[in-house]
Amino acid sequence: MKPALLVYGNCQGSWLAYTLKTILQIETQFEIDYFPNFGTPDPAHPALTADYWKRDPLFIRQTAPDSPPLPFENLLSPKCRQLRFPTLWGKFLWPFNVPDPRNQPEAGLPFGRFFYGDRLVVQWMREGLTPSEILERYLNEDLSKHINLNRYLEICFAELTHIDKQSDITLAPFIEKEFRGRKLFTTINHPSPLLLDYLLNHVKAWIFDTPAPETPGFSSGSAELGEEETPIHPQIISALKLEWAHPGMKYRYRSRMLTFQEYIEAYIRFDLIPAGSSAQLWIERAEQAYQMNQADEAQKLLFSGLNQFPGEPTLYQPLAVLLTAAGDYARANNLLTRALALPGLNAQLQAQLLNNLGITQFYQGDLSRAENSFQQALQLQPGWDEAADNLQEVKKLLIPLI
């Protein structure tokens, strides 16, 4: 029997347990379980038995000021190796977050239509304003009349620092340093893949007793936490000087991409936005990130999309272009080769993939294969100037070799 590894925490802990299971080096060594720190515990969970703790599992537990008592506290062995990690909050980005009394579980939406409510909207509804009146007021209201954002920011980081002091991993300094320049949260309690990867790298370092990295490593397509991004009010973007966001940007909310205004309209009306995903959704998000000079974020999104839709050829093309631009020719070559093996490619897309494959082969110094790729692209798309120009450039370099 493999040694046990237990992760205890909220949805962030669930993500961590799931992701550890996807890492072959860890999954092959440990039997990984997750125990939620919310709701009613499953009475059949193995962690509630004395036999489980006799195995001295690795125990990774999440800390927070209001954490409930461990349901298996009396079973813990002094020899049990433990790692405490902090609960991560992005409250400073959504200072008016409250539960909305209209929100109830529905079929296909166990957490309701809008799990993250807004205090001002709820307040104005109670005052009897119509949806159109609430929308107009919300879009024009001076938020500083309702909250001192600078003071609230101080309070939020004081809380994060306090949670850090109860943990073995310190994340508040990283969040405080990076939150203006990089997207670290998608909702008030859902860290972005970047911040989750930073946490994951510290956990992996602890498991294998190696030094933790100073900066987050690039993880190809770590699973996102949830399907919702809560849009950020333009005044918050301005007040906090967020460099990665702008007032007109779009956010993913389940199956749709919405601006802040589109989202707040839907929230006020309490529209039903169905769950779901598509390759096009990931491409739209990556295009937006790239247009905002966030090439790394665009790569991450496309890798995530590719993990979800490995048979969708339209995801391979833009990702390979980004990897080639970043000088990662081997990985771009691998992706393009995989894409060309997919069934049902139309001639235009196949030609684009071959042209880009030729470019990566050119940069790798494989001129003969590059020439062949450009020739195949032209056979599929005769007269295509870009492929023809690329072919001529390769031929010029091949001449001295004849």
pLDDT value of residue 218: 53
pLDDT value of residue 302: 95
pLDDT value of residue 402: 40
Per-residue confidence band for 343, with pLDDT thresholds at 50, 70 and 90 = very high
pLDDT value of residue 229: 97
pLDDT value of residue 222: 64
Please give the Cα distance from 333 to 330 (Å, whole number): 5
Which among 132, 109, 312 is positioned nearest to 226, based on CA atoms? Answer: 109
Per-residue confidence band for 400, with pLDDT thresholds at 50, 70 and 90 = low
Average pLDDT, the chain: 94
Residues 369-398, mean pLDDT to the nearest whole number: 95
Which among 307, 331, 344 is positioned nearest to 356, based on CA atoms? Answer: 331
- Domain 305-402 is in which class? mainly alpha
Please give the Cα distance from 180 to 138 (Å, whole number): 24
pLDDT value of residue 69: 87
Do the bridges between strand 190-191 and strand 185-187 make them parallel or antiparallel, or are there none, so unpaired?
antiparallel
> Coil, strand, or helix at residue 212?
coil
- What does residue 143 show for φ and ψ, rounded to 5 degrees? -65, -25
Is the confidence at residue 153, as pLDDT, over 50?
yes
205, HSE (Cβ side, Cα atoms, 13 Å)? 17
pLDDT value of residue 79: 86
Q: Which two tokens stand for residue 45?
A: 């969970």
Amino acid (one-letter) located at 39: G
Write down the domain spans for the chain: 1-87, 88-276, 305-402
**Identical topology for domains 1-87 and 305-402:** no
pLDDT value of residue 262: 98
Is the confidence at residue 106, as pLDDT, over 50?
yes
Tens digits of residue pLDDT in 25-49: 999 999 999 999 998 889 999 999 9
Q: Which of 157-166, 171-180, 211-220 has the lowest mean pLDDT?
A: 211-220
Residues 10-33, mean pLDDT to the nearest whole number: 96
> Coil, strand, or helix at residue 39?
coil
pLDDT value of residue 219: 55
- Domain 1-87 is in which class? alpha beta
Quickly count: other Cβ atoms within 10 Å of residue 229's Cβ: 22
Percentage of residues of the chain with pLDDT beyond 90: 90
Residues 63-90, mean pLDDT to the nearest whole number: 91
Per-residue confidence band for 398, with pLDDT thresholds at 50, 70 and 90 = confident
Percentage of residues of the chain with pLDDT beyond 70: 97
> Coil, strand, or helix at residue 310?
coil
pLDDT value of residue 169: 96
Tens digits of residue pLDDT in 132-149: 999 999 999 999 999 999
Compute the 3-state secondary structure of the chain and give helix, strand, coil in percent, each to the nearest 5: 50, 10, 40
pLDDT value of residue 217: 57
Tens digits of residue pLDDT in 194-244: 999 999 999 999 999 999 877 665 555 567 899 999 999 999 999 999 999
pTM comes to 0.92
pLDDT value of residue 65: 81
